[in-house]
């Protein structure tokens, strides 16, 4: 499992990856941010650090569900077929996801956090976009962003940072910036949730659907999976 | 017809008291690696191949903190990381926690080209390296006597140590180290890394940014990381957007305080400012170095798709070299 967290006010960040026994990876990421001189700890060392810090751990089997075992079986089978045809393994993330949250508080402080188990049947040691600051997670004093989808696409497009950069350098609104980043890539790549310091929310995606929800001080709230009826992704400005 | 250009670095944040012979040695290595890149570019080699070849050369030389000569982790072993990015299509590859692969930058390239992923680490990366038939060596190959000494000093001082090229004689006691630290602080170099006092600040990492004669950009960065780092600590070097970035407009490689580089997504920011604010290369570099780093210390090298080179740093020095097609060539350390 891997996760990252970022504090938009201090620009502090924490990341972890390669975890297999920590119950809440995101909390470990936060501890890395707040209690170590580093930003990013991985694999065995992150596990050892977790024990050092006394965070809750469980046997790796705690995290494994029957459903995912079945998915893994299917994925391996599909790859086997691919391999027989001489093609590289497919990276199909279509039915699993990452989770994330972005928020702005009453004082205008922003923060973002993202966490995942990664791709089904990923190569051991594969790190996705989720623990990479600027890719899956980003927050500054203008906005907070958390992305989900094809990890490799999110990394190369530095998605979370790009949304913030458009707001900052081009003066786009949060919604414009977010939609632009999502529209610039092939369909089926990724989606994101973002909030701005002014309390706006936007949740664009170019995949078939994105599990999402949002709520604002104004009383507006929404939970969704598919694109809205009028074709727009959810959100309120 | 585009013009080629190349920039390389061997780390930012150099101790002002670095002995002359060390400075000369560093400049020699930089000049040699720069020349290698120039020769390849003159022969029409693509940018991606050039950055890989140049960084391989830097990794192989024990002078800088990457590959052989890497800083040692807390446990005394070497844990390396690297990333590479092809500005055409922004393909990228990265590795972390590499301990036996002779050239981490080449493994990063394999991840990009031969795996379905962008980033592999630790056991998974090592396994992939063997599958791909890359050259592997014992971890001891990367360890130099000098670094073993520096690690000891760092542990005694119980701080993260950057510069391993301060001579050991006269500084191999805790008090001498503290005195050296006092001197540096007194000289106004009261530098702190991530809230911990740094006795001597002179981080290295190596990197290369290139634009070839077709206008394609590429960048690569490689490092052993911080001396006495926690095992498993990942820095900015393998993080696309932070330590390395390349797109149509430019290619960038950064060095310095990992935390500052990550939180400012430094490499990506240079490109973003060029793209979204329309700034030319040098202005983009200056803006990012001056405005983006807050209290952090870092440096970067960059080239633009139109054949310019630029570099910037907000600390005491950066080992670097640049060359452009019109014959300009320079190697430097200080301002």
Q: Is the CB of residue B258 less than 8 Å away from at least one CB of chain A?
A: yes
Closest CA to B261 of B246, B241, B231, B285: B241
Mean pLDDT of successive 10-residue stretches along chain A, which has 237 residues: 97 96 96 92 94 94 90 82 53 67 96 91 88 97 96 95 97 97 94 96 94 94 86 50
Question: What's the CA gap between A138 and A111, in Å, rounded?
Answer: 8
Size of interface A-B (CB pairs under 8 A): 171
Subunit contact B269:A165, Cβ cutoff 8 A: yes
Question: Within a domain: residue B155?
Answer: no
Tokens of A174: 């949060």
pLDDT of residue B324: 97
Question: What's the CA gap between B71 and B87, in Å, rounded?
Answer: 29
Question: What's the CA gap between B282 and B279, in Å, rounded?
Answer: 8
CB A32, CB A49: distance < 8 Å: yes
Q: Print pLDDT tens along chain B (335 aa).
A: 689 999 999 999 887 778 899 899 999 999 999 999 999 999 999 999 999 999 999 999 999 999 999 999 989 999 999 999 999 999 999 999 999 999 999 999 999 999 999 999 999 999 999 999 999 999 999 999 988 988 887 787 665 544 433 343 333 333 334 444 444 433 334 455 433 333 444 456 999 999 999 999 999 999 999 888 889 999 999 999 999 999 999 999 999 999 899 999 999 999 999 999 999 999 999 999 999 998 888 999 999 999 999 999 998 889 999 999 999 999 999 98
Positions of E strands within chain B: 5-12, 80-86, 91-98, 119-121, 192-193, 196-197, 206-211, 217-223, 233-234, 244-246, 250-256, 298-304, 309-313, 318-324, 329-332
Question: Within a domain: residue B192?
Answer: no
- Here the ipTM equals 0.83
On chain B, the residues whose CB falls within 8 A of the CB of A88 are 114, 116
Q: For chain A, how big is the Rg over CA atoms in Å?
A: 18
Question: Within a domain: residue B103?
Answer: yes
| CATH at B222 | 3.60.20.30
Question: What's the CA gap between A99 and A102, in Å, rounded?
Answer: 11
Question: What's the CA angle centered on B246, arms B284 and A4, to 5 degrees?
Answer: 90
pLDDT of residue B18: 80
Closest CA to B269 of B254, B282, B288: B288
B193, β-bridge pairs: B196
Question: Within a domain: residue B191?
Answer: no
Question: Within a domain: residue B179?
Answer: no
pLDDT of residue A237: 47
Range 14-73 of B in CB contact (< 8 A) with A: none
Pick A123's closest partner by Cβ from B124, B231, B245: B124
B211, β-bridge pairs: B5, B217
Q: How far is CA A131 from CA A49, A100, A143, B52, B271, in A?
A: 17, 11, 18, 25, 22
pLDDT of residue B184: 42
For CA atoms B245, B251, B255, B257, the dihedral sign is negative
If one counts every other C-beta atom within 10 angstroms of the C-beta of residue B179, the result is 13
CB A233, CB A204: distance < 8 Å: yes
If you ran DSSP here, which 8-state letter would residue A189 be given? S
Subunit contact B268:A165, Cβ cutoff 8 A: yes
CB A128, CB A102: distance < 8 Å: no
Pick B273's closest partner by Cβ from A18, A41, A169: A169
Question: What's the CA gap between A53 and A57, in Å, rounded?
Answer: 11
Known catalytic membership, residue B169: no
Question: What's the CA gap between A25 and A118, in Å, rounded?
Answer: 13
On chain A, the residues whose CB falls within 8 A of the CB of B298 are none
State the nearest Cα–Cα gap between B314 and chain A, in angstroms.
Answer: 19
Question: Within a domain: residue B169?
Answer: no
Give the helix ranges, DSSP H, for B132-265.
Answer: 145-157, 174-186, 258-263
Question: Within a domain: residue B48?
Answer: yes
Closest CA to B47 of B213, B207, B206, B205: B213
Q: Among all residues of chain A, which has the CA nearest to that of B159?
A: A37
Question: Within a domain: residue B166?
Answer: no
Range 98-117 of B in CB contact (< 8 A) with A: 114-117
CB A126, CB A93: distance < 8 Å: no
Domains identified in chain B, total number: 1
- Residue B94, domain extent: 5-140+202-332
Range 10-69 of A in CB contact (< 8 A) with B: 11-13, 15, 17-18, 36-46, 48-49
């Amino acid at each position: 499992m891997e996760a990252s967290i970022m504090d938009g006010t201090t620009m502090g960040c924490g990341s972890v990856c390669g975890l297999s026994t920590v119950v809440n990876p995101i909390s470990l990421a936060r501890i890395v941010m707040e209690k170590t001189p580093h930003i990013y700890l991985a694999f065995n060392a992150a596990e050892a650090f977790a024990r050092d810090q006394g965070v809750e751990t469980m046997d790796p089997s705690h995290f494994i569900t029957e459903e995912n075992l079945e998915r893994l079986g299917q994925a391996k089978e599909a790859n086997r077929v691919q391999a027989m045809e001489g093609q590289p393994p497919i990276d199909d993330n279509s039915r699993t996801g990452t989770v994330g949250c972005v928020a702005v508080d009453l004082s205008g402080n922003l923060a973002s956090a993202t966490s995942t188990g990664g791709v089904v049947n990923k190569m051991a040691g594969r790190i996705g976009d989720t623990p990479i600051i600027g890719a899956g997670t980003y927050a500054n004093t203008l906005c907070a962003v958390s992305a989900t989808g094809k990890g490799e696409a999110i990394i190369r497009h530095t998605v979370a940072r790009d949304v913030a950069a458009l707001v900052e350098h081009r003066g786009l609104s949060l919604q414009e910036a977010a939609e632009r980043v999502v529209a610039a890539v092939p369909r089926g790549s990724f989606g994101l949730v973002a909030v701005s310091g002014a309390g706006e929310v936007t949740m664009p995606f170019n995949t078939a659907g994105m599990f999402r929800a949002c709520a604002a001080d104004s009383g507006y709230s929404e939970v969704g999976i598919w694109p809205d009826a009028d074709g727009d992704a959810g959100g309120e400005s | 017809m585009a013009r080629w250009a190349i920039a390389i670095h061997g780390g930012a944040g150099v101790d002002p008291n670095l002995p002359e012979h060390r400075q000369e040695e560093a400049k020699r290595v930089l000049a040699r690696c720069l020349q290698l890149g120039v020769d390849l570019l003159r022969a029409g080699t693509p940018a991606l191949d050039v950055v890989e070849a140049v960084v391989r050369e830097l990794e192989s030389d024990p002078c800088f903190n990457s590959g052989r000569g890497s800083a040692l982790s807390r446990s005394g072993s070497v844990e390396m990381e690297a990333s590479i990015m092809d500005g055409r299509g922004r393909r990228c590859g990265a590795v972390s926690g590499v301990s036996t692969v002779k050239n981490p930058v080449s493994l990063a390239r394999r991840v990009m080209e031969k795996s379905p992923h962008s980033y592999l680490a630790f056991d998974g990366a090592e396994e992939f390296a063997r599958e791909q038939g890359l050259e592997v060596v014992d971890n001891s190959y990367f360890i130099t006597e000098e670094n073993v000494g520096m690690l000891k000093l760092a542990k005694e001082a119980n701080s993260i140590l950057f510069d391993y090229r301060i001579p050991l004689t006269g500084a191999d006691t805790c008090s001498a180290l503290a005195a050296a630290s006092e001197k540096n602080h007194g000289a106004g170099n009261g530098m702190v890394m991530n809230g911990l006092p740094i006795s001597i600040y002179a981080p290295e990492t190596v990197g290369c940014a290139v634009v070839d004669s077709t206008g394609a950009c590429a960048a690569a960065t490689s490092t052993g990381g911080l001396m006495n780092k926690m095992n498993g600590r990942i820095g900015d070097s393998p993080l696309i957007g932070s330590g390395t970035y390349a797109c149509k407009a430019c290619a960038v490689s950064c060095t310095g305080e990992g935390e500052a580089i990550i939180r400012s997504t430094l490499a990506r920011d240079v490109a973003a400012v060029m793209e979204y604010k329309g700034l030319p290369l040098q202005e983009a570099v200056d803006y990012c170095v001056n405005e983006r780093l807050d209290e952090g210390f870092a440096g970067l090298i960059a080239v633009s798709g139109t054949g310019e080179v630029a570099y910037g740093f907000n600390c005491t020095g950066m080992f670097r070299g640049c060359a452009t097609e019109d014959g300009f060539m320079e190697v430097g350390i200080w301002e």
